[in-house]
Structure 1
Amino acid sequence: MSPPSYASSSSRRPLGDTANAASLSTDPSTHTKYSAGSPRLQQCPSDISMDGNSRLFTYQEMYHITDGFSPRNLLGEGGFGSVYRGRLPEGKEVAVKQLRDGSGQGEREFQAEVETISRVHHRHLVSLVGYCISDSQRLLVYDFVSNDTLHYHLHGHGRPVLDWTTRVKVATGAAHGIAYLHEDCHPRIIHRDIKSSNILLDHNFDALVADFGLARLALDAVTHVTTRVMGTFGYMAPEYASSGKLTEKSDVFSFGVVLLELMTGRKPVDASRPLGDESLVEWARPLLTRALETGNLEELVDPRLEKNFNEVEMFRMIESAAACIRHSSSKRPRMSQVVRVLDSLADIDLTNGIQPGQSELFNVANTADIRMFQQMVQGNNNLDDSSGFSQYSLISRSRAGAEATSSNSRML
């Protein structure tokens, strides 16, 4: 079995590949140890434990626990850096992310950001254990999550089919984590790289969102407009891909793509598909329209499920995905609204004896959030502003062949 992927790992190297190993395994004796000087930062709400106890590691410690950043311990690589498995002296397994050089951050700014991240604790977010600053090196140490990623379980070769109940559980858990970052943290945190390979799964298949701090660490300006567009092709909101304008609604769009993955079993970008169908979003849009108008879910549902799913739950997830991927960011829901709709799948009977697709009758649903989603989705029969979406369609078609051979292709 291949080693677990971690954080924003977008590719895996064979364990024996020693490419770039020399540059990664720098002699720790050449690095300087810095002392911690944590600024006072506003904590997140007290209903979830916040301790802010980020541990300062030396580069020597990082070098030792990863066996010199050995290729054998490489878990994955992504736009933000490489991730290595390590074990602390007390036996705790961790994932060490070695950030790529060039962030332009000094010691004080990096410490301030790390201390913000370290105060964020939520059952659906991967916890930060500590960090290291040494010369130009910036390293982050996270809890290790053992059951790989949602991407691996959905798209990994030879993997058993992920059952529908687990898919709903993962979607709901990830939504809770993202909503917490957006609305309950101070300052708010925009993830910027929501995707299935950044949703880690524990042994109970509970979802933990990873890399949520790196979006803040890599932002170029507090205005949330950046010329360094960093995300994953196939997941990026059109306004972010085209202009660099970053808001919480950019994450909502990306989460909508994850919902499409869970429903269809397809990758966000698949160059092996027929021309015009490479993009999951483009392929799904007309099918979402038909499903919402007619109640026919068959074209959208992952055939590997063999019809073993709850139709009402699937219909609600279709409504949620359709609302999340609207081209106009202002028309997308907040993540807290998505959470309430997904949560309702578990404990509210929304059918009232009505088959999915009879939209006018579904207006009797007994929550305001369900009605909000229906109005949001049904307010435009095309689900979106087709003229606005055409720009994203052109971006997708022009780059799919060159830049995206899998859902992990990145645009930097």
Structure 2
Amino acid sequence: MSAINDNRERLVAAALKKEQLWQLFHAQSRSPSVLSETSSFSSSFNIGSPVNDLAFDFSSLGISSRGTFGSAYAAAIDNGVRIVVKRLTGSISEPEFKRHMDIIGNVKHENVAALRGYYCSEHERLMLYDYYTKGSVYALLHGETGDNRAHVDWETRLKIAIGAARGIAEIHKQKGRNLVHGNIKSSNIFLDPQHYGCVSDLGLANMIETTFMPTARCYAPEVKSTRHVSQASDMYGFGIVLLELLTRKSTEHLPGGPKPIDLVKLVGSIKSKERAAKVFDTDLLKHPTIKEDMVKVLQIGIQCVSKSIKKRPKIPEVVNMLEDIARVNTESHGPSPKKLVFVEGVIPTYTIEEMLGASAEVLGKGTFGKCYLARLENGNTIAVKRLKDYVCVTLKEFQQHMEVTRSMRHENVAELRAYVFSRYEILLVYDYYDEGSLFAALHGTGKRFLDWETRLKIAVDAARGITRIHRQDSWKLVHGNIKSSNIFITENKHGTVSHNGLAKLVSPIILSKMPNSGHCAPEVTDTAKVSQASDVYSFGVVLLEIISGKHSQINTDVGQVSLVEWIQSVLRKEWTSEVFDVELLRYPDDEEAMVQVLQIAMDCVANVPERRPRMPEVVKMLEEISGIGPSEASNLEDVLEDQWGQPSIELRLEYLLEDLLPTLTP
């Protein structure tokens, strides 16, 4: 009977323990609570049974990591709440342990992982923390390699640095400005829900004496054991974290992690800009607008890892410097909060809240991001293009691009209606075309028959739109992504070119990562290499799609090939008729026109850029074939361009009037 009673008491104790843990991790107070064998401390906990009876079954907990001072375990308690249990190794007396718990428990800051409770018995020293679902900075930077490696943008890295610096500053203020963390490294910094750095494992170096491994390159050179840690050595450790954020190279070896690197030696080898480019993470080097910020953070990191203790900055100085970098970044790239800006001449009919709150569906995923159809509460529908990855232009550069876009108003160029510009995202708002894109009409699930006259009219309109784009900025503007999914059909079956100039707004995307590269010219290895000549090539592919009814990339017996390669192989066999869409063969009278358009398309997709025609020539040839006369606006532009090159339209009109006035004088 006594054995049964003992088991019952053990089960009751375990149940109480679970309930108390649940209450602890749901409490509003951030003060730590003790779970002791014999007494309660700042809580009602009083569990009188050995540690093994208290649901701390370490064999069933998921081990998160083994650190310098013990092991960390992830545990799930009632209602799915997850906690971290730090199990300390080494000898420390119970009074000393509790004294340190009092000190650590009094450090309350959003960037310091709060001690939620602790447990002390004859053989165990346990510390309880919140579980950070986003993991540690080490895991974020080094946890995956190759294609699985997480993308970590500059904003996140800067926020990690700022958050960690603020946390260390709060620690250094405690205990008469004498408290030391003692083990600053990326595996002890976690990401909070806003992606700021949060410092964990505070004060363990002050409790447990241990000798640091000489191969661990995250510690200051004067630190041989925990007896030598100081606030200056904390600054050295933080400097190493900054270098990790910049280089994405690790200084410590964890199971399954990358080979450790001597980062101080690495950055010390920088003698030129070319060498500096090899030091920074290649993902960051794709974004030229942040290079200045990266260099500033590098300079801070180098100061922190100085061999001379006296030359290392104090943490409040570092916090100010990092916050200044973030502040300048915000000012140069525009405000972080989203603000909807309507293009000049457009009457605002909805707000940013209404736009973001509208029901939406994905229209397509393109080279530079996704396009959404948004249905507003007022009944209107709009198309919203969300650019992915980094924005590689400043607010001023973006506004200049918007001014060029606004001034090119043309019936065959889709007008931008509004935009959102924040540091790391651009939303572009256009009219929605109910008839959809040329791609959808030719290849989509709900594709419909387009007769030859309609196809030819769309081709002429698209060519005119591209020509209008090319004329801007003294013949320097490039669309950069001409394809059938970016050509839309209006309600009266005309064509209009959309999404122009996006290649200038985002960081380069390499060809192999493009969703569909069949429309790209052979010289375009990434989106930074686009030109007006590559636009002509891409338009040639569109013409081939119109003629053949096939995708820009098609499947054959030998695998997937581009439409250009397939048509070239067919023409070499002189099987010209096989090129044409079977649906067009019902128009035998138009066969000659189809062959002429095919010839224009093949000229456009010439391998050598210099052999491709320019868009004004293409427009004229298509107009002649279709019998569609040039618009009055096109005629006027051609006359002005032939006579005066590329001055502004207002100035060119002024010149023209000066020439005409004498002939009009009686």
> 1:372 matched to which residue of 2?
none
Alignment of 1:253-264 (within 5 A): 253-264=537-548
**How far 1:85 sits from its partner (Å)?**
2.6
Say if 1:88 and 1:324 are closer, same or farther in 2 by CA, change over 3 A. Answer: same
Determine helix, strand or coil for the equivalent of 1:278: strand
- Of 305, 308, 330, the residue aligned with 2:584 is 305
Aligned partner letter, 2:603: A
Say if 1:95 and 1:197 are closer, same or farther in 2 by CA, change over 3 A. Answer: same
> 1:86 matched to which residue of 2?
374
| Cα displacement string for residues 306-365 of structure 1 (whole angstroms, at most 9, x for unaligned residues) | 3325022112101101101111111010011111110001239xxxxxxxxxxxxxxxxx
Larger radius of gyration: 2
Q: Name the CA distance, whole Å, in 2 between partners of 1:158 and 1:133.
A: 34
> 2:357 matched to which residue of 1?
67
**How far 1:191 sits from its partner (Å)?**
1.3
Q: Confirm whether residue 237 of structure 1 aligns to residue 521 of structure 2.
A: yes
Determine helix, strand or coil for the equivalent of 2:505: helix
Say if 1:339 and 1:53 are closer, same or farther in 2 by CA, change over 3 A. Answer: same
| Cα displacement string for residues 47-80 of structure 1 (whole angstroms, at most 9, x for unaligned residues) | xxxxx7176989x933422425x4x433222232
Q: Name the CA distance, whole Å, in 2 between partners of 1:87 and 1:99.
A: 20
Alignment of 1:3-402 (within 5 A): 32=337, 53=344, 61-67=351-357, 70=359, 72-86=360-374, 92-157=380-445, 159-186=447-474, 188-218=476-506, 228-229=510-511, 232-241=516-525, 245-271=529-555, 273-275=556-558, 278-289=561-572, 297-309=576-588, 310-347=590-627
Q: Name the CA distance, whole Å, in 2 between partners of 1:121 and 1:269.
A: 32
| Cα displacement string for residues 220-243 of structure 1 (whole angstroms, at most 9, x for unaligned residues) | 6xxxxx675585311110011389
**How far 1:274 sits from its partner (Å)?**
1.6
Say if 1:63 and 1:78 are closer, same or farther in 2 by CA, change over 3 A. Answer: farther
Q: Name the CA distance, whole Å, in 1 between partners of 2:450 and 2:394.
A: 44
> 1:395 matched to which residue of 2?
none
Determine helix, strand or coil for the equivalent of 1:267: coil
Determine helix, strand or coil for the equivalent of 1:239: coil
Say if 1:175 and 1:132 are closer, same or farther in 2 by CA, change over 3 A. Answer: same
Q: Name the CA distance, whole Å, in 1 between partners of 2:483 and 2:585.
A: 25
Equivalences, count: 292
Say if 1:77 and 1:54 are closer, same or farther in 2 by CA, change over 3 A. Answer: farther
Say if 1:105 and 1:242 are closer, same or farther in 2 by CA, change over 3 A. Answer: closer
> 1:374 matched to which residue of 2?
none
Aligned partner letter, 1:53: E
Aligned partner letter, 1:307: R
TM-score normalised by L of structure 1: 0.63
> 2:113 matched to which residue of 1?
none
Determine helix, strand or coil for the equivalent of 1:139: strand
142-151 vs 243-252, which moves further: 243-252
Say if 1:243 and 1:31 are closer, same or farther in 2 by CA, change over 3 A. Answer: closer
Higher helix share: 2
Q: CA RMSD for the aligned pairs?
A: 3.3
Instruction: Point out which structure has higher relative CO (alpha carbons under 8 A, 6+ apart).
Output: 1
Say if 1:97 and 1:215 are closer, same or farther in 2 by CA, change over 3 A. Answer: same
> 1:354 matched to which residue of 2?
none
Determine helix, strand or coil for the equivalent of 1:238: coil
Q: Name the CA distance, whole Å, in 2 between partners of 1:145 and 1:227.
A: 28
**How far 1:179 sits from its partner (Å)?**
1.2
Aligned partner letter, 2:530: L
| Cα displacement string for residues 165-190 of structure 1 (whole angstroms, at most 9, x for unaligned residues) | 11111111111111111134546321
**How far 1:245 sits from its partner (Å)?**
3.4
- Aligned residues of 1:66 and 1:87 also touching (Cα < 8 A): no
Q: Name the CA distance, whole Å, in 2 between partners of 1:240 and 1:144.
A: 30
**How far 1:82 sits from its partner (Å)?**
2.3
Structure 2 unaligned segments of length 5 or more: list them.
1-193, 195-334, 629-666
Q: Name the CA distance, whole Å, in 2 between partners of 1:121 and 1:329.
A: 28
Q: Name the CA distance, whole Å, in 1 between partners of 2:502 and 2:568.
A: 31
**How far 1:33 sits from its partner (Å)?**
5.6
- Aligned residues of 1:120 and 1:185 also touching (Cα < 8 A): no
Q: Name the CA distance, whole Å, in 2 between partners of 1:35 and 1:160.
A: 36
- Aligned residues of 1:124 and 1:176 also touching (Cα < 8 A): yes
Q: Name the CA distance, whole Å, in 2 between partners of 1:244 and 1:135.
A: 20
TM-score normalised by L of structure 2: 0.40
Q: Name the CA distance, whole Å, in 2 between partners of 1:177 and 1:312.
A: 25
> 2:215 matched to which residue of 1?
none
Q: Name the CA distance, whole Å, in 1 between partners of 2:424 and 2:526.
A: 31
Say if 1:325 and 1:269 are closer, same or farther in 2 by CA, change over 3 A. Answer: same
Q: Name the CA distance, whole Å, in 2 between partners of 1:157 and 1:250.
A: 29
279-288 vs 247-256, which moves further: 279-288
**How far 1:164 sits from its partner (Å)?**
1.1
Q: Name the CA distance, whole Å, in 2 between partners of 1:109 and 1:184.
A: 16
